[in-house]
Amino acid sequence: MTRAVLHRMIGLLLLAAGHPSVGFAQDALQPYQLVRSLQLVQDRIAAGDHAAMPMQAKLLEMVDARLRDTGADDFKDPKNFRALLVYGMSGGNPLTVETAVSRATVAPEELAIAKGIISYLNGRPADAIETLRPIDPMTLPSDLGAFLALVKGSLLSVDEPAAALVLLDEARLLSPGTLVEEAALRRSVGIAVTQGDAARFALASTQYVERYLYSPYASQFADSFVSGVVALHMSISQDKLGDITSMMDPEREKVIYLRIARRAAIDGLNDLSAFAAARAERGRDGISNQDDPRALLYASLSTMTSGTVDEVHAKLDRIDRGKLSDGDRALLDAARAIAGELVAPPAALPARKPALAAVEQPPAVENASARTSGQQTSDEAGLPPVEGAMPEQPPAPAPGEPAASTSDTTAVAAASSDGAETLPAPAPAPALAPATGLNPSDPADAAMIKARRQLDLIDQMLGAAPR
């Protein structure tokens, strides 16, 4: 059906709903006719026709009113009961569905589907899964089977992701080119990421970009896509990533690469971050993004721990703060602070004292602890509040091992106060920073550890990243 014919038909329906003299037209239409009109509008929305969204809202109202007035005679036509179920799975009113089902006399399988849908609409997923599990969507009429496969796939996506992917494939097979396929592909991308299935992720992403890039729900796909590229970076080549993004328009491609560069930089994936930042700056079709302040900012972040300090400072100095959002300005300030820390002269190491003097050090240890706490507070004072940030905790001891005390010297002092024999505290071995291979006692490594800790804080505080 062409777009012009569709809009003409929907226009007549809306006119009938809004004009008292022709209001009888709504009652004259069968429920399945109204629901079919609703599906056509939803398919146009999935294809990128955002102007059809008000039509969808109005049609949902019309279908709801028509179904609330249905009686047992209306459901003698099986198409009308299937339409009721499809309406429920299309975002319909659960109370309307439940009321209409109570008036219908239908086969046990159709009644079971109705009960499962009502549980799903009322937020009882466990009941819905139990009721719908025995029903095979492929044995039902395609209009009903496609929606049922989509609902079952969504319900099983967490506990049974492999089964969910099969159901989402069935939904697409039964209803190609529709909102059902759009939703099935979008959800398949996210499930493939949790499964670690790079091939499935790349295939579903390619199909989504080809068909539904302009869907109003494409922002949800973008979230899953960026997360998947970062999570599966070892299995997805840069060439494959480039093939997928080349099907996007230049602006969407730029934003995707900016988001990948930021996420990869935070996760310490320097190669991926540098690649994404370079692609965002390079642009396409002769349009360069080198002057885009976001591109400059994220390119600087990607080289924060690998490029030279002069290069990082040069990039940061080129950024126009006035063109950044509040969140990106905070990120710029944090990046400059980190760059400054990398070139700050290292603090002098404390002079070594005789080991036997350890028993006389409790006050000094307390003062050192206070200085450390004060320094940490000072480091974070220049950053905006970080929602949900937790203070760093020492690593938990392995099972069967005694928990390490806060300080060997403090432990010696505590033993002395109890009158027990005191021994010199052993000199602690240099500790390695977790998962970095860096030595905190080395001034240069300590600066790197501090920089990466602040990058983690940046990730939590960044609320206005390109989306």
Q: Which pLDDT score, from 0 to 100, does residue 452 have?
A: 60
Query: Rounded mean pLDDT of 204-229?
Result: 96
Q: Which pLDDT score, from 0 to 100, does residue 27 have?
A: 59
Q: Which pLDDT score, from 0 to 100, does residue 198 have?
A: 97
Residue 93: pLDDT above 50?
A: yes
Query: Rounded mean pLDDT of 34-40?
Result: 93
Q: What's the token pair of residue 98?
A: 């439940």
Q: What's the token pair of residue 156?
A: 């099983």
Query: Rounded mean pLDDT of 190-209?
Result: 97
Q: Which pLDDT score, from 0 to 100, does residue 312 have?
A: 75
Kindly report the backbone phi and psi dihedral angles of residue 354, in degrees, each rounded to the nearest multiple of 5, phi listed first: -60, 140
Q: What's the token pair of residue 197?
A: 């299935």
Q: Which pLDDT score, from 0 to 100, does residue 341 have?
A: 72
Q: Which pLDDT score, from 0 to 100, does residue 354 have?
A: 53
Residue 34: pLDDT above 70?
A: yes
Residue 103 and residue 414: Cα distance in Å, rounded? 78
Kindly report the backbone phi and psi dihedral angles of residue 161, in degrees, each rounded to the nearest multiple of 5, phi listed first: -65, -35
Please give the angle made by the CA atoms of 20, 23 and 24, to the nearest 5 degrees: 135
pTM of the model: 0.68
pLDDT: which is higher, 9 or 375 = 9
Q: Which pLDDT score, from 0 to 100, does residue 333 have?
A: 83
Residue keyed to tokens 């690998």: 306
Q: Which residues, at least 6 apart from 460, have a Cβ–Cβ distance to it below 8 Å?
A: 386, 387, 388, 389
pLDDT: which is higher, 29 or 16 = 29
Kindly report the backbone phi and psi dihedral angles of residue 238, in degrees, each rounded to the nearest multiple of 5, phi listed first: -65, -30
Residue 402: pLDDT above 60?
A: no
Residue 252 and residue 302: Cα distance in Å, rounded? 20
Mean pLDDT (the chain) is 76
What are residue 284's DSSP bridge partners? Answer: 287
How do residues 44-58 score in pLDDT, each as one tens digit? 999 999 888 899 889
Residue 465 and residue 247: Cα distance in Å, rounded? 23
What are residue 148's DSSP bridge partners? Answer: none
What are residue 287's DSSP bridge partners? Answer: 284
What number of other Cβ atoms are within 10 A of residue 270's Cβ? 16
Query: Rounded mean pLDDT of 413-433?
Result: 39
Half-sphere exposure of residue 458: CA atoms within 13 angstroms, side-chain side: 30
Ranges 82-86, 243-247, 387-391: which has the least confidence: 387-391
pLDDT: which is higher, 10 or 21 = 10
Kindly report the backbone phi and psi dihedral angles of residue 355, in degrees, each rounded to the nearest multiple of 5, phi listed first: -65, -35
Percent of the chain at pLDDT above 70?
Answer: 64
Residue-wise DSSP of 122-156: TT-HHHHHHHHTT--GGGS-HHHHHHHHHHHHHHT
Kindly report the backbone phi and psi dihedral angles of residue 342, in degrees, each rounded to the nearest multiple of 5, phi listed first: -70, -25
Q: Which pLDDT score, from 0 to 100, does residue 192 have?
A: 97
Residue 234: pLDDT above 90?
A: yes
* Whether 44 contacts 52, CB under 8 Å: yes
Q: Where are the alpha helices (DSSP H) in 213-325?
A: 218-231, 238-245, 250-266, 270-282, 293-302, 309-317
Residue 37: pLDDT above 70?
A: yes
Residue 389 and residue 367: Cα distance in Å, rounded? 26
pLDDT-derived band at 118 (thresholds 50, 70, 90) equals very high
First CA to last CA across the chain, in angstroms?
34
Ranges 66-80, 224-238, 312-326: which has the least confidence: 312-326
pLDDT-derived band at 208 (thresholds 50, 70, 90) equals very high
Q: Which pLDDT score, from 0 to 100, does residue 435 have?
A: 43
Ranges 18-27, 353-362, 411-420: which has the least confidence: 411-420
